Structure 1
Amino acid sequence: MKHSQLFIDSLIHPKKLAAYRLLPIGKVIQYTFLLITIVSVFSLGRFAAGMSVDTFDMDSLTGLTDYIEDIKWLLYPFTFLMLFVVTTMLIFAQIALYALAGLFILKAMKRRGEYRHIWRTTTFAITWATLLSMLADYLPVSSTVITVLSLFLTISLLIVAFTKYPKQPNIK
């Protein structure tokens, strides 16, 4: 299965997310790193657009501005590496926490599933939240509203996907 198809299905077809719980973990991790790379490149672009020596307009900092101009070629790769590492930690932690919440929701819905299945489903369910967080600075809405909307959207997508998980057997 192609990553582009996984991306499109994550955005448009929430019921297919339940089927993706059976994908190999390698494919799911690849998709996660694709999202991380997209976020990191977008963040680096925003950093590069905002990084200007003109922001230092104090006369006493002319040596500093010259130094920044000299090492700018080194600053961008280091910044991208740091952005990638921090984004990786944040997204994996976000997936783990949503999956933990999803485990409780799955039990409340009386559906069968293991944490590893929920983790895979959650990876695809956070696609909308990731895109919203990237575009948050360009939307005329506060970051708190974006965070709550992302939380609600991800949990909603998980619930829709959980309806396609198998039901727990009735034990009498």
Structure 2
Amino acid sequence: MNIFLQFYKSLFSPKDIALFRHQGIGKTILYVFFLTLLSALPTVFYSGSAIINGLNAIDETIDSNLPDFEIAEGQLHTEEEVPVTLNKNNFTIIIDSTGAVDPSVLSESGNTIALLKNEVYILAEGQEQTYPYTLLTSGTLTKNDLSDFLASAESLMPIIIPLIAIVIYIFAAGIRFIEISLLALAGLFIKKALAKKLEYRHLWRMSAYSITLPAIFFTIMTALQTAVQNGAIINWFVSLIILLLSIKEVPSHSSK
């Protein structure tokens, strides 16, 4: 059975998921990378859009509208005693060296770029990104330096965006493998309660396919920019239910 048919079957068939315990670990790992690729696509797209739109918005306002500032030793310094807020191209740009602006409040706003006291915050198309200044520079960065940097960064976008996509993908894959491993551990208790002769390696393979339905659901929600309340709980609950149903499909006398 090819990987695409496995993906289709994993969306609704615990019986097929139970059968996948027989396959080699290499094919299961390949499936996890495939599922991770699908689920990471919306995040990659919106993150790339956020960075490009954010650079464009700042570049158009930095010379004429932004107050003079300096980033030194990981902190933003300006002569402004209150936060400065500007609106440009459907983006809200905030300069705040006072520490008065709370990033958690910004998550409820529209497209936003905020140079805060210790970090830069970007919210675009529902995707949040936060970068401490220490990650961006180890020295001093002024308004003019930022203008020059943006000019260079815009020309490097065809390189930067793929690199960001790779980082997001690797991080997402790591989270998937941890999730599957924990789910398989829970499966040990389930198989014991159901008196099924399964080993951890079998449960790991089954867990890799059991997460398909919730993974695709949350991928669609991310693509639609729709927040899901208690998403982590729903994700684990659905995955456990599918794993439970899959374990029940395994004959009690068989471990292979």
1:49-106 residue CA offsets vs partner (Å, 9 max, x unmatched)? 2222234243344323212202212202211221121111110001000110111111
- 3-state SS of paired residue (1:111): coil
Paired residue for 2:198? 113
Contact 1:111 1:166 in 2 (8 A): yes
- 3-state SS of paired residue (2:251): coil
Contact 1:128 1:150 in 2 (8 A): no
Contact 2:11 2:212 in 1 (8 A): yes
- 3-state SS of paired residue (2:156): helix
Contact 1:99 1:119 in 2 (8 A): yes
Structure-2 change in CA distance of 1:107 and 1:168 (3 Å): farther
Higher strand share: 2
Larger Rg belongs to: 2
Residue 54 of structure 1: which of 53, 56, 69 is its match?
56
**RMSD of the TM alignment (CA)?**
2.0
Q: Which piece of structure 1 moves more, 87-96 or 73-82?
A: 73-82
Q: How many residues align?
A: 168
Paired residue for 2:33? 33
Query: Residues of 1 paired with 2:242 and 2:39: CA distance?
Result: 21
- Name structure 2 gaps, 5 residues minimum: 64-142
Residue 90 of structure 1: which of 169, 175, 178 is its match?
175
Amino acid of the structure 2 residue aligned with 1:20: F
Where relative contact order (Cα < 8 A, 6+ residues apart) is larger, the structure is 1
Query: Residues of 1 paired with 2:243 and 2:19: CA distance?
Result: 12
Higher helix share: 1
Q: Is 2:11 aligned against 1:15? A: no
- Name structure 1 gaps, 5 residues minimum: none
Amino acid of the structure 1 residue aligned with 2:44: L
- 3-state SS of paired residue (2:154): helix
Paired residue for 1:24? 24
Q: Structure 1 vs Structure 2: percent identity of aligned residues?
A: 25
- 3-state SS of paired residue (1:18): helix
Query: Residues of 1 paired with 2:195 and 2:26: CA distance?
Result: 28
